Amino acid sequence: MADSAETRKLVYLVTGGCGFLGEHVVRMLLQREPRLYELRVFDLHLGPWLEELKTGPVQVTAIQGDVTQAHEVAAAVAGAHVVIHTAGLVDVFGRASPETIYEVNVQGTKNVIEACVQTGTRFLVYTSSMEVVGPNIKGHPFYRGNEDTPYEAIHRHPYPCSKAQAERLVLEANGRKVHGGLSLVTCALRPTGIYGEGHQIMRDFYHQGLRLGGRLFRAIPASVEHSRVYVGNVAWMHVLVAQELEQRAALMGGQVYFCYDESPYKSYEDFNMEFLGPCGLRLVDTRLLVPYWLLMLLATLNALLQWLLRPLLLYAPLLNPYTLAVANTTFTVSTDKAQRHFGYKPLFSWEDSRTRTIRWVQAVEGSAP
Ligand SMILES: NC(=O)C1=CN([C@@H]2O[C@H](COP(=O)(O)OP(=O)(O)OC[C@H]3O[C@@H](n4cnc5c(N)ncnc54)[C@H](O)[C@@H]3O)[C@@H](O)[C@H]2O)C=CC1
Ligand SMILES: CC(C)[C@@H](O)CC[C@@H](C)[C@H]1CC[C@H]2[C@@H]3[C@H](O)CC4=CC(=O)CC[C@]4(C)[C@H]3CC[C@]12C
């Protein structure tokens, strides 16, 4: 579409716009939403890279704010046509308290919904998570499941519980009258494990491997498969949903969609090696030496250490009882609901996603942990 002033009339707000996914959503909007007049980037921690975005035709407004503060959210939402709500506390490592996780992920989402209702913003896209579904506390596998697959979604950990509560709030808000008398249209996207440029956990694995002499130790059998999705395709799905939500409100309103692409089903560790292997690391199979019961013991000791050290320092290793359980439970998605409902097709092929991620990890090498 031609870039002309009269086409540029929409105001978007991206909460968490400086996060791993949020930054990709911000950049994708600037590249793929020709109607954009103003892009508001709302985050607790603003990134310096935002400055470089202010030279283009779109007004980029950086807003340092906290989603737990209703008045800050309302001020940021007022006048926006679309809100893409990615802000959240993604913590499965015990860094934040359950109360804080709830405050950000649930109360923060309530604040976004109420701000839309009070100010008259009609379209809300929420970044939910596969974790809303599973793996559940019983360790049941979710094998090539879709949005309609029956599954006992029971959780205890604060993170999946908070994401499930927030998603439910967003879906229940669909159809509420907003200021001005029109209806709120909401939907929730459920990414599986996101990877790509900026993924902190991938960076942590890479630095761990460098510290261990170029080796990473396999903890999980290769047979335990996970779905993973490239961050660029997750960002693209967010943008496409936001663009289609008005025209297809009756079909898409109140719906959930898994985020998916052509990334192969592999164990979490084997998938990471698609990027870490070409960067010089190798995965050593130590499961004969370290049986699963010993891994459980180590994970439990990590949790105990974290609790004992908390008054002195934050000890938050990758291995804890929850991460081990999730890593050790198959969770794969096979669906085309997003394509059927709003014509989604991945923007990045598996080969392109892999190449981009490898290049990023190689660039990380120069950045000390
Ligand atoms: N990383 C993953 O594999 C997956 C992530 N998700 C969801 O995607 C969303 C984004 O996740 P990531 O980009 O991975 O995490 P991230 O931690 O990189 O980004 C989250 C952003 O939210 C901001 N934020 C946190 N608390 C805030 C508050 N109180 N007020 C305002 N901003 C706040 C952070 O500063 C950060 O920039 C989250 O909602 C997460 O639950 C869903 C599935 C998978
Ligand atoms: C130490 C080993 C057992 C190692 O294999 C642990 C890997 C572990 C850190 C990851 C395995 C599965 C990941 C989670 C999964 O991708 C689902 C997620 C969805 C989200 O919404 C946020 C991230 C995460 C919880 C993700 C976190 C890292 C893992 C637990």
Q: What is the pLDDT of residues 184-205, one digit of tens each?
A: 999 999 999 999 999 999 999 9
DSSP letter at 172 equals H
| Ligand 1 mean position, distance from CA 68 (Å) | 14
State residue 171's pLDDT score: 98
Describe the chain by its helix, strand, coil percentages, rounded to 5: 45, 20, 40
State residue 1's pLDDT score: 42
Taking 90 as the threshold, does the pLDDT of residue 107 lie above it?
Answer: yes
| Ligand 2 mean position, distance from CA 57 (Å) | 39
**Would you say the CB of residue 268 lies under 6 angstroms from ligand 2?**
yes
* The one catalytic residue among 12, 102, 126, 159: 159
Residue among 7, 13, 33, 24 at smallest CA distance from 199:
24
Taking 80 as the threshold, does the pLDDT of residue 225 lie above it?
Answer: yes
Amino acid at 29: L
Residue nearest to atom 28 of ligand 1 (CA): 66
Q: What is the mean pLDDT of residues 36-51?
A: 97
Backbone angles phi, psi at 192, to 5 degrees: -85, -165
Backbone angles phi, psi at 115, to 5 degrees: -65, -40
**Would you say the CB of residue 263 lies under 6 angstroms from ligand 2?**
no
Give the bridge partners for 61, in sequence order. Answer: 40
E strand intervals along the chain:
10-15, 36-43, 59-64, 82-85, 123-127, 142-145, 185-191, 193-195, 215-218, 228-230, 255-259, 282-285, 331-333
Query: What would the pLDDT profile of 159-188 be if each residue is shown by its tens digit?
Result: 999 999 999 999 999 999 999 999 999 999
Among 326, 330, 333, say which to mutate for ligand 2: greatest number of ligand atoms within 8 Å of CB: 326
State residue 144's pLDDT score: 98
Query: What would the pLDDT profile of 76-85 be if each residue is shown by its tens digit?
Result: 999 999 999 9
Q: What is the mean pLDDT of residues 42-67?
A: 96
Among 27, 90, 234, say which to mutate for ligand 1: greatest number of ligand atoms within 8 Å of CB: 90
Query: What would the pLDDT profile of 109-164 be if each residue is shown by its tens digit?
Result: 999 999 999 999 999 999 999 999 999 999 999 999 999 999 999 999 999 999 99
Q: Per-residue confidence at 368, pLDDT binned at 50, 70, 90?
A: very low
Chain centre to alpha carbon of residue 95: 18
| Ligand 1 mean position, distance from CA 88 (Å) | 4
Six token digits for residue 267: 């164990």
Taking 60 as the threshold, does the pLDDT of residue 294 lie above it?
Answer: yes
**Would you say the CB of residue 220 lies under 6 angstroms from ligand 2?**
yes
Six token digits for residue 287: 């499961």
Do 76 and 63 contact (CB within 8 A), yes or no?
A: yes
In the chain, what percentage of residues exceed pLDDT 90?
93
Q: What is the mean pLDDT of residues 290-314?
A: 94
Query: What would the pLDDT profile of 257-270 be if each residue is shown by its tens digit?
Result: 999 999 999 999 99
Give the closest ligand to the alpha carbon of residue 20: 1
SS3 291: coil
Six token digits for residue 41: 């980037």
What ipTM score was computed for the predicted complex, to two decimals? 0.99
Residue among 156, 128, 283 at smallest CA distance from 216:
283
Q: Per-residue confidence at 298, pLDDT binned at 50, 70, 90?
A: very high
State residue 287's pLDDT score: 66
Q: What is the mean pLDDT of residues 11-31?
A: 98
Query: What would the pLDDT profile of 350-363 be if each residue is shown by its tens digit?
Result: 999 999 999 999 99
126 is catalytic: no
Closest ligand 1 atom to Cα of 198: 18
State residue 364's pLDDT score: 83
Taking the whole predicted model, whether its pTM rises above 0.90 is answered as yes
Residue nearest to atom 23 of ligand 1 (CA): 16
Mean pLDDT of the chain: 95
**Would you say the CB of residue 164 lies under 6 angstroms from ligand 1?**
no
**Would you say the CB of residue 318 lies under 6 angstroms from ligand 2?**
yes
| Ligand 1 mean position, distance from CA 84 (Å) | 12
